[in-house]
Amino acid sequence: MPELPEVEVLRRELEPFLRGKRIVRVEIRDSRFGFPKEAAEGKTITGVRRLGKYLLFGLAEGGCLALHLGMTGKLLLVKANTPQKHERVDMLLSSGEHLLFCDTRRLGKIAFLQEEEELSEQLGLDPLSPAYTLENVRALLEGKRRLKDFLLDQRKICGIGNIYASEILFRARLHPERTLSSLSEAEKARLFVAIREVLEEAIQERGTTIRDFRRTLGEEGNFQHLLAVYGKSHCPSCGTPIVRKVIASRSTYFCPRCQPPEGKGEPLMQE
């Protein structure tokens, strides 16, 4: 599933191109992705924002289109007469290009919102927003929930999915089954830093392409070559075999030596 870095990469590529473009025509080719065409046709795009894993296309006439890529969604900018596999929605732009939403497994979604607050009120802190502070994160790290469950909860911190949860916990040297209440103040600070560091590094590498993610012109990301534990066999720091375990109903990867359950893992030193 595309996570915050992949969606942010798309936003940065799309925003300067789409700003000021008019949506001439909308073709919905799969009823699962239906939204009122009249809400978008003839409307001018004022900009593209991101909130967690959502892209928000602001419309000059009011409201916005909110798009979630699901597990296999892609947003592609193409010329006319260049059909793509699994097209679900086709938006013809005033510049002549088509913005295509393609989705193999059909788990993505597009909706028209009158106000962005309809979405933002359902989501937690965005790690790239000014509200992402150590104080605000510390306030969330209470209770008996496991770290992995917490990181995947979009109502707490939005944008993190399965791949980056494993990478973040390895960077912070924290076992995924540690409870929030067991964390020391130093460990909370490590987690806070690791979340932003890992996500920002992935953005700089244009995201992670393991199977489906593609940028707007079809290119792959590069961060898959820099993953430390996700899908790996041995720890890059100590050489210990990586453990794969289902936690929070998802495959989770961690180093049992660098991320011990009793919480004595050392911080990862950056070169």
Query: 250 an active-site residue?
Result: yes
Query: 245 an active-site residue?
Result: no
Active-site annotation holder among 196, 250, 257, 261: 250
Q: What's the confidence (pLDDT) of residue 268?
A: 54
Split at pLDDT 50, 70, 90, the class of 34 is confident
pLDDT digits (tens, 9 = 90+) for 89-136: 999 999 999 999 999 999 999 999 999 999 999 999 999 999 999 999
Query: 43 an active-site residue?
Result: no
Query: 3 an active-site residue?
Result: yes
In the predicted model, what is the mean pLDDT of residues 250-265?
88
Residue ranges and CATH numbers for the domains of the chain are 4-120 (3.20.190.10), 134-254 (1.10.8.50)
pLDDT digits (tens, 9 = 90+) for 137-189: 999 999 999 999 999 999 999 999 999 999 999 999 999 999 999 999 999 99
Q: Is 250 exposed, middle or buried (0-12, 13-18, 19+ CB in 10 A)?
A: middle
* DSSP letter assigned to residue 82: -
C-alpha dihedral (153, 159, 163, 166), degrees to nearest 10? -60
* DSSP letter assigned to residue 30: S
3-state secondary structure 105-125: CCCCEEEEECCCHHHHCCCCE
- Residue 270 confidence (pLDDT) above 60: no
In the predicted model, what is the mean pLDDT of residues 62-69?
96
At residue 204, φ and ψ (nearest 5 deg) are: -60, -30
- Residue 269 confidence (pLDDT) above 50: no
Percentage with pLDDT > 90 across the chain:
84
Active-site annotation holder among 11, 43, 53, 109: 53
Q: What does pTM read for this prediction?
A: 0.92
pLDDT digits (tens, 9 = 90+) for 211-221: 778 888 888 88
Beta strands in the chain (DSSP E): 23-28, 45-51, 54-59, 64-68, 73-78, 87-93, 98-103, 109-113, 243-247, 250-254
- Residue 266 confidence (pLDDT) above 70: no
Q: What's the confidence (pLDDT) of residue 168?
A: 99
